Amino acid sequence: MTADLFRSLAPRVSDWFVLDQARVQAFADVTEDWQFIHLDPEKAAQTPFGGTVAHGFLTLSMLSAMSYQIMPEVPGVRASVNYGFDRIRFVSPVRVGSRIRGSFTVAHVEEGEGHLNVSWDVIVEIEGKDRPALAAQWITRLQLED
């Protein structure tokens, strides 16, 4: 029943999230990635990016917040955890101040003993841009009640 719910799920899209300088700075501080292209607008303006850009891993980490919005209520699920990725591509840089959102499509559901692995094809788009920020195949594991 639960596996069939995911197999029949239509693509889902999250709300928009702003990757502003405060969020980028907080991510830099937590990860100790203080590269100037993320934090120094004057120096970053001299690069091909034309200004500061969000960390690719910050954009990737936003999948968690996005997934809370698109995940259906599923009876019998004890927990949902990040199982990993089969593919991640950082397609386009995200300029600081841009808005991003995720589009999630179920690619595959694998049933195991006491769990489901749900593989999601995810595209993170940048508002107003033709090319996405990233494309990934993300696997979540749902632990099922006995």
* Number of helices and strands in the chain (H, E): 5, 6
Strands 134-144 and 115-126: antiparallel
pTM here is 0.93
In the chain, what are the domains? 2-19+55-144 (3.10.129.10)
Reported as a single tens digit per residue, the pLDDT across 80-92 is 999 999 999 999 9
Reported as a single tens digit per residue, the pLDDT across 27-56 is 999 999 999 999 999 999 999 999 999 999
Reported as a single tens digit per residue, the pLDDT across 73-128 is 888 899 999 999 999 999 999 999 999 999 999 999 999 999 999 999 999 999 99
- Structure tokens, 109: 């559901």
Per the document, the length of the chain is 146
